[in-house]
A and B are shown apart, each in its own frame.
Chain A
Amino acid sequence: MWKFCGTAIICVLLAYLPGAVLAEEVSKEQIKGLDEQVQEIKSEALGIAAALSGLEEKLLHPSNTQLSLFVALAEDDDFRLDAVEVQLDGKVVANHLYTFKELEALQQGGVQRLHTGNIRTGQHDLQVTLIGKSPGGAEYRHTADFTIEKGIGPKLVELVLAGPGANTKSISKKDW
């Protein structure tokens, strides 16, 4: 029966010895070799992604008509953003429901590209509606209207959203 005891101790000790569970048929060298090939493929795929991204921009959103809308959250604001809707010249161009991961990414300082489209040069009406919940759990909805001026180059607009308790405006626009 001491064999059982021995097995128990070995099991426990194995837990902090690295790589002890691997079967013989799959060697470290095989794993490493395959891993390196996967890395090469990933690198090539990243190159394709970059080239396709450039091609997409040229074909679908040339700089003279390009409009990109970005969404960020105000710093240290813990309200829960549920959804954002954006209307451009009275038409809904973006409507996004946030997952928990997306919300966390925004809270950690990430900036979401909500919409990329094409507009003519000149003035355009922009209406932004946010729906969320305050830290206390109350429903929170706010709409703000802006005017954007589209010039010859690409137009980048950042929308900074804040909760009801924040010192800043609920929705503020920043032209880049």
Chain B
Amino acid sequence: MFSRIMCLLGVGFATSCFAAEAPSGELKDLFFGEALYYAHQGDYFDAIARLDAELWQHYGLDDPELDSFYFHVNQAEFSVGDFELSYRMHRRAGRAVEAVLEGNVDEAVRNEAAYRLARIYFQKDQPVNALHALERIQGRVPDRIRDDLSFLRAQVYMATGRFAEAAKILEPLQRADGYAGFAAYNRGIALLRDNEQTAGIRALDQAGQVRGTQRGTLAIRDKANLVLGSKLLDGDRPEEAKQFLERVRLQGPFSTRALLGSGWADASAERYERALVPWSILAKRNVTDESVQEALLAVPYAYGKLGVYGKAALGYGSALEAFGGEIDKLDRSIKSIREGKFLEALTREELKQDKNWMVKLRSLPEAPETYYLMQLMASHDFQASLQNYLDLEALRKRLVVWTEDLDAYEDLIAVRRAYYEPLLPDIDAQFRRLDSRMRLRMEQRDRLDERLQAMLISPRPGFLATAEERVITERISILEEQLKNTRVSEKILHRIRRLKGLIHWRIHTEYDQRLTDAHQHLRQLDGIVEDLRNQYTSFVRTRQAATQSYQGHETAIRQQRRRVRDVREPVKNLMARQGHMLETMAVNELERRRTRLEEFQIKARFAMADSYDRATKAQADREAKALAEAAKAKASSEAEERSTGEAEAPSEPPGESAAQ
């Protein structure tokens, strides 16, 4: 990393500040595209490794502007920072972006770097540092990050308590693409925190009605309605709260809390029949949900308030049964986590292919009941720890593979050495012989060339005589020498002179043609020589490659093996510590839920007993009342009978009336 930063600080900026940007979307370097391919799949380790290698290579070139990567270098600098951020290497990403900020770069590039640095700080829960980074932004800001920058600035202001300024920034952002619901929601929260109650409620109301079909938009809409409804309920405004709580979708992630709140809104206005509607829906849902568990108590509570004590008592009984079952489930889950089953389940390969892996986790045998961990698992700290654990697990696997690779490289080198070493001495000897022959021929060729060049200036026809002509000339010279002291006829001498003249004539008259032919032949020879040279170079290269294929790698392999070994132990230790942290978080969360359920159990027991008492008392009251009414009715009927009897007595005998 240090080397890369130094690289960035050094030659990097000299290049990057003048670097051309590739036309939008056009790929100018295959390796940059390869890094993107990995990054788009979420494989940030490979993406960073590729880009790092490319950047390092690029800055090491004498003429980086001739490299195809030159067109992407600015983009690559930011991309590698982004990938590092996605790979949760905030410190490294921050240092890299800081290096860009300190360099001699264009205003827009520097502003983008400052924005990215601020984002890193904000993600790492350092809003004051994020604010300082944002304060470095001056002048032109690239259009593509303008809205992102505004939203981040608003978030940073909110985190540092500057709510009014945040609300002001978020106001126009509500109309920006992709930020509609989020800007309105955050503006609402900022206004509420700034004690602008009416405006805040209005903003949350707007966020709660934002249009869209994307999951994010639907979720923020539900959240705005839920928060607003809860706030109004808390402020003793149940009528208003209910209308917002009822806007929350029945199938969304906030539905259970909205249904619970909606019930409480009715209950606080003493409309228990109406409160029973959302609570009854809620009570039928998954009993592991906190709101559902509360609804199991709320439903009998409402029946109790309505005076239906028997039903209330039965409801509390069912709740007690459900809570008992859930406490058992929690105990089993805690046991399973302490036995290491949770971590085993988290690292299963099949889960990584599924976006809903968290939900699937609960269906695995002996895995803890992850539904109880949903809220914890969605928290930033747990997610960061979990991702670190998974990254460490991936690193551990990589280290195993790398060790095997290094073993394979050593085997490969041994095989190559065993193959080449017996062959090479003979090949080298043959090559040396061929090499000396070739050098000799090359010297001959060069001499010929020199002569021909010289003959262009001072003609030497004799040099171009054919072999036959040379033999004939030689024989004539021998004859002349032999006849020098001998008396011979003039006729013979004349013939010799004629032959000499004929040869001389031929050599001199054909000289120009011969010289041209000689040049042509030399050019043809050059073609052959060139082929020979190529073969020679190819052989030398192949010979070098053969040696290099098994020589000179020992040190590199030894160094890498040591590095891999040095990292394996810390990875193992960190995994154990990170795993223990995750287990502690999970167990704490499950114990919190168990404590809550135990409290609910106590409340349910008391409430059930109370309901039975009330039901018994009501029953007794009803029976007493019924008896009283029956006695009263009997008395009145007897009185009636008496009066009727008195009137009819003369016609009936007294025994018959009694029988009747």
Taking Cβ atoms with an 8 Å cutoff, the residues of A that contact B are 1, 4-5, 7-9, 11-13, 15-16, 18-19, 21-26, 28, 30-31, 34-39, 41-56, 58-60, 62, 64-65, 68, 70, 72, 75, 101-102, 104-106, 108-113, 121, 152, 156, 158, 176
Tell whether, in the assembled complex, residue B264 and residue A48 are in contact, meaning their CB atoms are under 8 Å apart: no
Contacts of B56 in A (CB 8 A): 50
> Given the interface contacts A50-B53, A59-B412, does A4 sit within 8 Å of B301 by beta carbon?
yes
B485 to chain A, nearest CB (A): 69
Sort chain B's interface into a size bin.
35 or more
Tell whether, in the assembled complex, residue A41 and residue B567 are in contact, meaning their CB atoms are under 8 Å apart: yes
Q: List 13 A-B contacts (CB under 8 A).
A: A12-B257, A16-B227, A22-B585, A38-B388, A38-B391, A41-B392, A41-B395, A41-B574, A48-B402, A54-B53, A101-B41, A110-B33, A111-B27
Tell whether, in the assembled complex, residue A21 and residue B388 are in contact, meaning their CB atoms are under 8 Å apart: no
Query: What residue of chain B has the Cβ atom nearest to residue A45's Cβ?
Result: B395
B170 to chain A, nearest CB (A): 16
Contacts of B210 in A (CB 8 A): none
Query: What residue of chain A has the Cβ atom nearest to residue B263's Cβ?
Result: A8
Binary contact track B391-418/A, C-beta < 8 Å → 1, others 0: 1100100110010011001001100000
Tell whether, in the assembled complex, residue A176 and residue B30 are in contact, meaning their CB atoms are under 8 Å apart: yes
> Given the interface contacts A9-B233, A43-B89, does A35 sit within 8 Å of B388 by beta carbon?
yes
Bound-state CA distance A39–B548 (Å) is 36
Tell whether, in the assembled complex, residue B48 and residue A156 are in contact, meaning their CB atoms are under 8 Å apart: no
Tell whether, in the assembled complex, residue A31 and residue B581 are in contact, meaning their CB atoms are under 8 Å apart: yes
Tell whether, in the assembled complex, residue B581 and residue A52 are in contact, meaning their CB atoms are under 8 Å apart: no
Tell whether, in the assembled complex, residue B227 and residue A12 are in contact, meaning their CB atoms are under 8 Å apart: yes
Query: What residue of chain B has the Cβ atom nearest to residue A104's Cβ?
Result: B40
Tell whether, in the assembled complex, residue A43 and residue B1 are in contact, meaning their CB atoms are under 8 Å apart: yes
Contacts of A62 in B (CB 8 A): 545, 548-549
Bound-state CA distance A62–B589 (Å) is 55
Tell whether, in the assembled complex, residue B545 and residue A64 are in contact, meaning their CB atoms are under 8 Å apart: yes
Bound-state CA distance A60–B9 (Å) is 34
Bound-state CA distance A38–B572 (Å) is 11
Contacts of B578 in A (CB 8 A): 34, 38
Contacts of B118 in A (CB 8 A): none
The answer to whether B68 has its CB under 8 Å from any CB of chain A is yes
Interface positions of B from 237 to 291, Cβ below 8 Å from A: 254, 257, 260-261, 264, 267-268, 290-291
Count A-B contacts at CB 8 Å.
218
Query: What residue of chain A has the Cβ atom nearest to residue B52's Cβ?
Result: A50
Contacts of B379 in A (CB 8 A): 19, 21-22
Query: What residue of chain B has the Cβ atom nearest to residue A6's Cβ?
Result: B234
B187 to chain A, nearest CB (A): 14
> Given the interface contacts A23-B584, A75-B25, A105-B41, does A11 sit within 8 Å of B574 by beta carbon?
no
Tell whether, in the assembled complex, residue A53 and residue B49 are in contact, meaning their CB atoms are under 8 Å apart: yes
Q: Mark the stretch among B137-145, B161-169, B438-446, B557-565 that contacts chain A.
A: B557-565
Tell whether, in the assembled complex, residue B49 and residue A50 are in contact, meaning their CB atoms are under 8 Å apart: yes
Tell whether, in the assembled complex, residue A8 and residue B391 are in contact, meaning their CB atoms are under 8 Å apart: no
> Given the interface contacts A37-B574, A43-B89, A53-B53, does A23 sit within 8 Å of B588 by beta carbon?
yes
Tell whether, in the assembled complex, residue A111 and residue B409 are in contact, meaning their CB atoms are under 8 Å apart: no
Bound-state CA distance A24–B584 (Å) is 10
> Given the interface contacts A41-B395, A43-B1, does A9 sit within 8 Å of B234 by beta carbon?
yes
Q: Which 7 A-B pairs have the closest CB atoms?
A: A110-B37, A111-B33, A23-B588, A105-B40, A12-B230, A49-B49, A110-B36
The answer to whether B108 has its CB under 8 Å from any CB of chain A is no
Tell whether, in the assembled complex, residue B227 and residue A59 are in contact, meaning their CB atoms are under 8 Å apart: no
Bound-state CA distance A56–B553 (Å) is 11
Tell whether, in the assembled complex, residue B553 and residue A58 are in contact, meaning their CB atoms are under 8 Å apart: yes
Tell whether, in the assembled complex, residue A59 and residue B89 are in contact, meaning their CB atoms are under 8 Å apart: no
Bound-state CA distance A10–B72 (Å) is 50
B241 to chain A, nearest CB (A): 10
